[in-house]
Structure 1
Amino acid sequence: MRIPIVSLTLSLLACPLAHGQVFQGELGDFDLKLGTTPSRSMAQGLVTPSSTGSFHGGLDLSHDSGWYVGQWSPSVGLSPSSNLEVDSYMGFKQPFDQTLGYEIGLIHYSYPTLDTLDSQEFFGGLTVLGSRFGAAFSNDPDKQNSTLFADLGGNVPFGIGVSAKYTTHQYNSPVSVEDGYVGSFSDWSLKISRPWRGIDLDLIYSDSSLSGSRCSAYSGHNSECDGLLTLKMAHPFY
């Protein structure tokens, strides 16, 4: 029986510098956003651009018809420990009405300064009565990933949000571990969130199908291969 690891994270955002800037304007019939903070998430919240370096930024161009394109660089590679990454995306997002909507699109991940293959991710999402559902498939250089996502925040009472993510990973070539090989694995996470007196509280449990020595082959979405219980508290001061 595996005993979950417990982690406590405190995030105190004491000044505006903790968040990036987003500048918005019009370019003909398009809305243009430039900034150091991602201006959108995709697949109704499943795919969220991240930042891995000290210098990051991007642009987003959207039209009233529902089409959008953009580029996001989570790291521009200015420091010796980081590499340039450029994520280019395009998609179509359209609500049928105030309670029903959908989204489809594609992201291309490229690493111009590295001798590695580019990768692509196809995604789709659906919003129903305030709840969001998403799916994505990506072909990384070493494996394929299929992800399902659900955020039931729109239908859960008492102001409590519940979201879950499940991903299967299939290696192109089995990875050697101490007791054999790992050709595939899955991981998942469950998050319960609620605002309390100006503080955003998140309780997150994550785990995977690997354990023990087989965790050496883990390369999934979670920060730990084994069960991990995290309590996260964030409070903005501006």
Structure 2
Amino acid sequence: MLKLTTLLIGLLVCMSADAQIFQRELGDYDLKLGTSPSRSMAQGLVKPSSTGSFHGGLDLSHDSGWYVGQWAPSMGLSPAGNLEVDSYLGFKRPFDRTLGYEVGMIHYSYPQLDTLDSQEFFGGLTLLGSRFGAAFSNDPDKRNSTLFADLSGTQPFGVGLSVKYTTHRLFTPASIADGGYVSGFNDWSVKLSRPWMGIDLNLIYSDSSLNGSDCSAYSGHNSQCDGLFTFKAEHRFY
């Protein structure tokens, strides 16, 4: 693990200026190094968190379907960011051209913080180009259960649709301003996506079961507790 992390840090330093992926075949293995995520883990269910200025990772896969890798969404070089290293192991295999599956786990570690590491177990199915998955994780303060669907197999008018719903159960109820407690909450998101002239256009709506003063207890996947529309336009140069 130490050698793998050292290689990852070297990659981050050398390749942080431009987003790119270096790929090379090593016999039956396929090695990818880059500052863009080379794998959407759990068929798109588990994605790396928002990236900092310096980030990157490596991914090694075998023809049998096994893969292993590390991804660091932040090197912790800025005052607002902390070093995060996500190590994952999984198995991905198609049954035929229309159906496949994937299972695995991810270990999240934060070497610069005095906090416990967390693990996430995931599984997914691919059916006629659409993807469905579930994940279960134990964070230091809560347990999360997620369902995910990416209907890429059917895109009317060229528009992709993906949805995610997560249930969070707090180990210790959080107190709120009115004297009450929050022991759990749900959050969800819906994303519409469409490529246009080399640009990826995304419209995202996210919300949670909390509102008002209850939002002080929110610690879910979304950037905001209340309902929020977000529009993103991304263009990749590499």
Amino acid at match of 1:150: A
Q: Distance in 1 between matches of 2:196 and 2:57?
A: 33
Counterpart-to-counterpart distance in 1, 2:155 and 2:232 = 20
Q: Structure 1's 235 and 54: CA in aligned 2 closer, same or farther, altered over 3 A?
A: closer
Greater helix share, structure number: 2
Q: How does 1:22-41 map to 2 (within 5 A)?
A: 22-41=21-40
Match for 2:45: what amino acid? Answer: L
Percent identical: 78
Match of 2:102 in 1: 103
Counterpart CA distance in 1 for 2:194 and 2:28 is 38
Q: Is the aligned partner of 1:218 residue 2:209?
A: no
Deviation at 1:42, TM superposition (A): 1.1
Aligned CA-pair RMSD: 1.9
Q: Tell me what 1:165 maps to.
A: 164
Q: What SS class does the counterpart of residue 222 from structure 2 fall into?
A: coil
Structure 1: gaps of 5 or more residues: 1-16
| Maintained 8 Å contact 1:19/1:37 | no
Give the distance between the partners of 2:59 and 2:235, measured in 1 at CA: 28
The aligned length equals: 222
1: distance between equivalents of 2:224 and 2:95? Answer: 39
Change beyond 3 A, Cα 1:128–1:198? same
Q: Identify the residue that residue 47 of structure 1 maps to in structure 2.
A: 46
Match of 1:126 in 2: 125
> Quick check: 59-68 or 109-118, which moved more?
109-118
Task: Report deviation, 1:120.
Answer: 0.1
Counterpart Cα distance in 2 of 1:234 and 1:37 = 13
1 CA distance for matches of 2:53 and 2:225? 27
Hey, what does 1:14 align to over in structure 2? none
| Contact persistence 1:38–1:58 (CA under 8 A) | yes
Q: Which amino acid in 1 is paired with 2:21?
A: V
Q: Deviations over 1:35-87 (max 9, x none)?
A: 11111011111112234322111111100000000111112223343222111
1:192 corresponding residue in structure 2? 192
With over 3 angstroms needed to count, the CA separation of the structure-2 counterparts of 1:236 and 1:72, relative to structure 1, is closer
Kindly tell me: are residues 19 and 44 of structure 1, through their superposed partners in 2, closer, same or farther at Cα, counting changes over 3 Å? farther
Structure 2 letter corresponding to 1:137: F
Q: Which residue of 2 aligns with 1:68?
A: 67
SS of the aligned residue for 1:20 comes to coil
In 1, the alpha carbon distance for the partners of 2:220 and 2:117 equals: 18
Could you tell me which residue of structure 1 aligns to residue 207 of structure 2? 207
For 1:234, give the aligned amino acid: E
Measured at CA, do residues 194 and 82 of structure 1 come closer, stay the same or move farther in structure 2, by a change above 3 Å? Answer: closer
SS in 2 for 1:44: helix
Which residue of structure 1 lines up, in the alignment, with residue 227 of structure 2? 227
Relative contact order higher in (CA < 8 Å, ≥ 6 apart): 1
Task: Name the stretch that deviates more: 42-51 or 117-126.
Answer: 42-51
Which protein has the bigger strand share? 1
Runs of 5+ consecutive residues of structure 2 not aligned to the other structure: 1-15
Read off the aligned partner of 2:125 and give its amino acid letter. L
Stretches of 4+ aligned residues off by more than 6 angstroms: none
**CA separation of 1:53/1:232 partners in 2, compared to 1, >3 Å: closer, same or farther?**
closer
Q: Secondary structure at the match of 1:158?
A: helix
Query: Which moved further from structure 2: 93-102 or 224-233?
Result: 224-233
